[in-house]
Structure 1
Amino acid sequence: MPAQPQSQSVDIVERDAVPVAAIEHRGDPARLGDTIRTFIAWRREHRLHPSVSATYNVVYDNPDDVAPEAFRMDLCAATREPIAPNAAGVTARTLAGGRYAVLRHKGSDDTLGQSVAWLYADWLPASGEALRDVPLLFQRVRFYPDVPEHEAITDILLPLK
């Protein structure tokens, strides 16, 4: 049984689609830092600081459930601006709107997987809700290095039918 997150308050919300600039990370999660640094540099160049542009992760795979070379995750920044072809590989995408269950995770990413596991294994079966066929999203509300890791806030967005 997954550990209970600090907050068990799950809200169901209706969200609009969100246009984003996205960079794909494909491969070993240990190399995710390289992709993050590339994306940060691109964001700085385009003045999309997290204070003015919401930050999202599109989570396709649990790194514990796939081979390192098969891991997939996208890093995104909300923007309505056109995305010109660029050396960083950032492209325009749209995050799906619709119904989402939202669980707020506070603290380090080291325990984020426990909150996600609880949402899937405990909350979802008890809720009577069903999953939609779109990826899980993380909205990074407050994150390192802007705040200490223990003060980080990530909203886990579980897509519902």
Structure 2
Amino acid sequence: MERGMRKPTVEDYGRRLMRVVNTIWQDPTASYSIEQLAGIAHFSPFHFHRIYREMMGETVNATQLRMRLLYASRQLAQANDIPLIRIAQRAGYQSSAAFVRSFAAAHGMPPGAYRRQRLSHIHSQINQELGMYNVEFRKLDTPIHLAASRHHGSYLKIGEAFARLQLSKTALPVDPQQVRWFAQYHDDPQSVAEAELRSDACVEIKAGGDLPDELARTQIPAGRYGVIEHRGPYSELQQAYHWLFGVWLPQSGEQPANVPVIEQYLNLPHNTPPKDLRTEIWVALTA
């Protein structure tokens, strides 16, 4: 009976923890007690933290902190007229000092310096040259098979879909020696309403094997790809997209193929500071 109950128990735990993840993503600035979060997942408050940490790979506090700093870094990069104290409050901090300490620990510089650096970079984009990123041409002879968790809405909230994948990973036909994480982005966030954006959080799987009902099977097609690597917070990825599609592609002589934009995550945010995150962006090219 114990072996027969194991898979349903893992799936049940996963569904219950997803209620907590969804709650945090809906409002990462809110404060929750252990009793509240444990109640959402219907776990004992005595054991909830241990279960969450072991299944999600980080503590609840770490998840919430990442979400708060993600939103804060996006506001700092996009607007110069919002006072730091207001951004700190929107991110759920009671004091600007606490916000500055947390932000500097994650990004390697205080928020004021980060804002100046990002705005300076934006202003210099009109003078970007082709050498800003190194484009690597790759050829896939066979497709990469993926299990996908569909996400609708802001691309910055695709972490909810990745959380579902993380909780289902033990039930997936993955290669435990080489787990690779991807995302497919189907729409341009500059031209499609945020609520209508479609994306897929993905993990590489073996060609065969069953998937849980809530996941779909998809693939990265065989073919040619132009690939660049961006280093830094996910909130800064837009600059890489601007360069790839606005600077390099029009001058490259290449034509994009009818395949969604792909991101591959070479490291993960639960154990990597935002400034050290490595993200590849793949654009499919015609033969």
1:141 equivalent in structure 2: 266
1:120 paired residue number: 245
* Greater length-normalized contact order (CA 8 Å, ≥ 6 residues apart): 1
Query: For residues 50 and 36 of structure 1, do their structure 2 counterparts lie closer, same or farther at Cα, with a shift above 3 Å needed?
Result: farther
**TM-score, normalized by length of structure 2?**
0.50
Alignment check: 8 A CA contact 2:185 2:199 kept: yes
Distance in 1 between residues matched to 2:237 and 2:203, nearest whole Å: 20
Higher helix fraction: Structure 1 or Structure 2? Answer: 2
Match of 1:95 in 2: 220
Matched, 1:21 2:21: no
Q: CA offsets, 1:14-54, max 9 Å, x none?
A: 12310111111123446533322212211245485987211
Structure 1 residues 85, 17: CA separation in 2 closer, same or farther (over 3 Å shift)? Answer: closer
SS in 1 for 2:235: helix
**What are the superposed Cα offsets for residues 83-139 of structure 1, whole Å, 9 maximum, x if unpaired?**
53525x112222112111111101111111110111001000111111101111001
* Structure 1 portions without partners, runs of 5+: none
Which residue, 281, 284, 287 being the options, matches 1:156?
281
Q: Distance in 2 between matches of 1:31 and 1:115?
A: 19
Larger radius of gyration: 2
Identity of aligned residues (%): 24
Q: Per-residue deviation at 1:70?
A: 0.8
Superposition RMSD in Å: 2.6
Task: State the secondary structure of the residue aligned to 1:146.
Answer: coil
Aligned residues: 160
Q: Structure 2: 5+ residue runs without aligned partners?
A: 1-121
TM-score by structure 1 length? 0.85
Report the Cα offset of residue 7 of structure 1.
4.6
Task: Check 1:153–1:28 CA distance in 2 against 1; reply closer, same or farther (3 A cut).
Answer: closer
Q: Which of the two has greater strand per residue? A: 1
Q: For residue 98 of structure 2, what is the aligned residue in structure 1? A: none
Matched residue, 1:41: 167
